Each structure stands twice: as structure tokens, then as C-alpha cells.
Amino acid sequence: MLEVKTPEEVLRLIETEFKPLGRTETVPLAEALGRVLAEDVKAEEYVPDFDRSTVDGYACRAKDTFGCSDAIPAILNLVGEVKMGEGAEMPVPRDACVYVPTGGAIPAPCDCAVMIEFTEDYGDGTIGILKPGAPGMNLIFRGDDVFPGKTVLKAGRVLKAQDIGALAAVGKTEVPVRPRLRVGVISTGDELVPADQKPGPGQVRDVNSPMLAALLRGCGVEAVDFGIVTDDEKLLREKTKAAAESCDAVLLSGGSSAGVKDAACRILGELGELLLHGIAVKPGKPTILANAGNKPLIGLPGHPVAAYFVARLFVLPLLARLEGRTLRNWPVRAVLSESLNANHGRMQLNACRLEETDGRLTATPIRSKSGLITQLAGADAYLVIGRDCEGLPRGAEVDVFWN
């Protein structure tokens, strides 16, 4: 019999027992948002590929302007104009300048750009420079942003909008990413009917399948719905096996009666190596984890709230592990609006609502009997009460996690 493990032990187990899948596929840039980068992206070119002005003004040699001032301007001959999006191949003799717009290319002999505000156009083909330039002033040099070989993004990064921008900048329009994980979702229980059916006597609607599918989809994972299986061990074995064969992981949920729990445990133990039977967390204790050749088979609690928390706290990091990325989930600080009892000896999770008052965040725990889904509906966040905490008083500062 496996022992109940602490949350920290479970997270360590995930790292030691499962390996990143290491697969790669290529997607167009427009579809890369939220995907996991499979390889480091290195630039192959210079961005920009030319020296650029950061101001509207005049490109010139800085030394031709040294010592100038409002009283004694440097007089430069205007010998040309740089157009946006065109090269700046023109010759620029000594004591000459070229008009350049913001973002325009700088002709090679010039080493600075003087803002138009510090110049005067005399209308006779000469420009007065009222403030001396300095080499490099108001310029972005070729390759300042990116140069060949520079790592733009690292493998494992979940691509955000700004990363899409950076990939566009370096012309990486085909992006190597981790294929989306396929995760099979199975609900078990004689009492369950699909959400679109009216429950008969003793029946309830299946909450876990649509909730877990949504949680997975929200993390970029393809959820494959294997439907509701009645409390029949043979059927459940067949369905679980089929899911394990066609998916990267299987989430088996429901089965609140002791018989079904035992069956789920037997089935997962047959299909893989049982790693875990019970997590010291409330709610969420009756959780099973097996490893079938680097495929996680997970038995979640039947209670929707417990299933939700176990999926968030343990299944999402497990899937992140398979994708070779780190999951970031940092708390925000809030003040507890009412006291909260804790269950000494088990880490406790509590959904809460957050409200801003005078720039401070107040967390109000949502209280309900265990297992009621409305504890989660409309919840903004959840808070974690440590195993050794005996309760928190009103006004305590707590860490809350958005959910």
C-alpha cells in the first residue's frame, strides 16, 4: 500500500518520474501564441540592418558641430534627404548634413543625428546646428537590437504576444514548438448524466468532464472527451486503456464510491506503475497517479472542487513537465476579511473572492459544504493554508493565487 504523500513530495515525484516528451512541430507565427517553444531561437541577421535615427532631424558628423551654440551655430550644407524605407547611400562631404526622419537610415559618413528642434533651416541650402552633436547621439546602430547568433528566445518559453513580436522582428515566421499534448478525460459513476440531460432520481450531471476539458484547453492542451463510464470495472479498464493508447496522459475522474475507487486503483496499477495513492491536501486526498511508460495516468477525486484543485496544483505541473517548461504561479498578497479555520496536518485549499478597497486587496473565503461546485463558481482566487497552520485570523496577510 502506497503512503499518502505531501504536496511537495508529489511535485518532486513529477520531476523525477516523468521526462519531457521532446517532440517538435512547426507552426506559422500567427498560430504560435501560447505554444511552448521547442528550440532556442537565434537571430540570423542584424536588426536593424542599418544605423537608424531615433529622431526627426539632420544626420551629420558630430565633429562638424563641436563648439556650436545658439549664438554661434555650426553652418552645414544640406546635401540630401533620407526617405523612410530607402537606403542612404549618398555621399556626405565635410560640413554637410542630410535630413533624416525618425527611423530613417543614416548615411555612412555620419555619426549622429541632431533633433530638428535644435536646428534652423536658413532656406538657402544651409542648416544651422544650435547644439553640438556627439558620436552615436540619437542613433540605433546596426544590430543594436539583434545580431546573427544572438539568442532571442529560449526553448521552453510559452510564447507571449511580445515574443511573437520578437519572432516577427527576426523573420522567424515558422516556429518550432512542442506539439499540443492530447489528454484523455474520462468520468466514471453510475450517478452521472451528461450536462445536457436532466438528472433522474439519484442522478447528478457530470461536472468534471467539461470543467477539466476547459482547464486543459485553457493551458493549450487538447482535451479528448471519452465520456461517462458506468461503475463497471471491465468497461472502465477498456476505456482507460483506449485513452492511454491514443493520448499523452489520462485523467480519470469521478467514482466517489469506495468500489469504484478501488477499481480505478487496480486499473491504473495494471496499465502503469502506481506512484501515488493519496495526497495530504484538503480537498483532494483520494488522488492516484501511475506512470505507463512516461504517460501519466491520473485518478482524480470525484468531488468537482477536489478534482479542480488537484488538477490545478498537480496535473498542470505534470503536463508542463511533459512539455519541458516551468509553470509559473506566483501569489498576490491580500488581507483576509474573516477568520478561517484550518485542518491541522493537511495543506488546505480555499476558494475566495477578491475585492479592492483603498488599493488593498481583500480576500473573502467562500464557505460551503465540501464538494459543492458553487464554491468555485465566480471565485477569483484561492488561498493555501499550510499543513502546520492551525487557522488564520481576520486581518491576516495571506498569499492568494488567481484561478
Q: Rule CB under 8 A: which of 181-210 touch its own copies?
A: 189-192, 195-210
Q: Minimum distance from CB of 280 to its own copies (Å)?
A: 19
> Binding its own copies by CB under 8 A: which of 2, 72, 168, 235?
168
66 binds its own copies (CB under 8 A): no
Pairing relation of β-strands 182-188 and 222-229? parallel
Site string for its own copies, 271-300 (x = CB under 8 A): ------------------------------
Nearer to its own copies, 265 or 292 (CB): 265
> Binding its own copies by CB under 8 A: which of 74, 98, 166, 268?
166
Nearer to its own copies, 291 or 350 (CB): 350
Please list every residue from 129 through 148 that binds its own copies, using CB under 8 A: 140, 144-146
Q: Minimum distance from CB of 171 to its own copies (Å)?
A: 6
258 binds its own copies (CB under 8 A): yes
> Binding its own copies by CB under 8 A: which of 103, 128, 179, 317?
103
Q: Minimum distance from CB of 294 to its own copies (Å)?
A: 26
Nearer to its own copies, 126 or 256 (CB): 256
Amino acid sitting at position 261:
K
The three-state secondary structure class of 26 is: strand
Pairing relation of β-strands 25-28 and 52-53? unpaired
CB half-sphere exposure, 146, CA atoms < 13 A = 22
Nearer to its own copies, 130 or 228 (CB): 228
Q: Yes or no: say if 322 and 345 are a contact pair by the CB < 8 Å rule.
A: no
Q: What is the CB neighbour count within 10 angstroms for residue 52?
A: 21
Q: Yes or no: say if 361 and 355 are a contact pair by the CB < 8 Å rule.
A: yes
Site string for its own copies, 21-50 (x = CB under 8 A): --------xx-xxx----------x-xxxx
CB half-sphere exposure, 204, CA atoms < 13 A = 16
Nearer to its own copies, 291 or 348 (CB): 348
What are the φ/ψ torsions at residue 231 (nearest 5 degrees)?
A: -75, 70
With a CB cutoff of 8 Å and minimum separation 6, the contacts of 222 are: 180, 181, 182, 183, 216
With a CB cutoff of 8 Å and minimum separation 6, the contacts of 4 are: 277, 278, 279, 280, 285
Contacts of residues 209-212 at CB distance under 8 Å and 24 or more positions apart, as own/partner, are: 209/185, 209/253, 211/304, 211/307, 211/308, 211/373, 212/185, 212/251, 212/253, 212/300, 212/307, 212/311
Q: Minimum distance from CB of 20 to its own copies (Å)?
A: 19
CA–CA gap between residue 57 and residue 60 (Å, rounded): 10
CA–CA gap between residue 324 and residue 40 (Å, rounded): 13
102 binds its own copies (CB under 8 A): yes
54 binds its own copies (CB under 8 A): yes
173 binds its own copies (CB under 8 A): yes
> Binding its own copies by CB under 8 A: which of 84, 108, 235, 327?
84
> Binding its own copies by CB under 8 A: which of 135, 345, 372, 394?
372
Site string for its own copies, 214-243 (x = CB under 8 A): xx-xx------------x------------
Piece of 9-17, 80-88, 275-283, 338-346 that binds its own copies (CB under 8 A): 80-88
398 binds its own copies (CB under 8 A): no
In angstroms, the Cα distances linking 56 to 84, 92, 105, 115, 131 are 11, 18, 11, 6, 15
Q: Which residue has the cell 447528478?
A: 204
391 binds its own copies (CB under 8 A): no
Please list every residue from 302 through 361 that binds its own copies, using CB under 8 A: 302, 304, 308, 328, 330-333, 351, 354, 361
In angstroms, the Cα distances linking 116 to 51, 132, 285, 289 are 18, 13, 69, 68
Q: Minimum distance from CB of 208 to its own copies (Å)?
A: 7
Nearer to its own copies, 12 or 217 (CB): 217
259 binds its own copies (CB under 8 A): yes
Q: Yes or no: say if 119 and 64 are a contact pair by the CB < 8 Å rule.
A: no
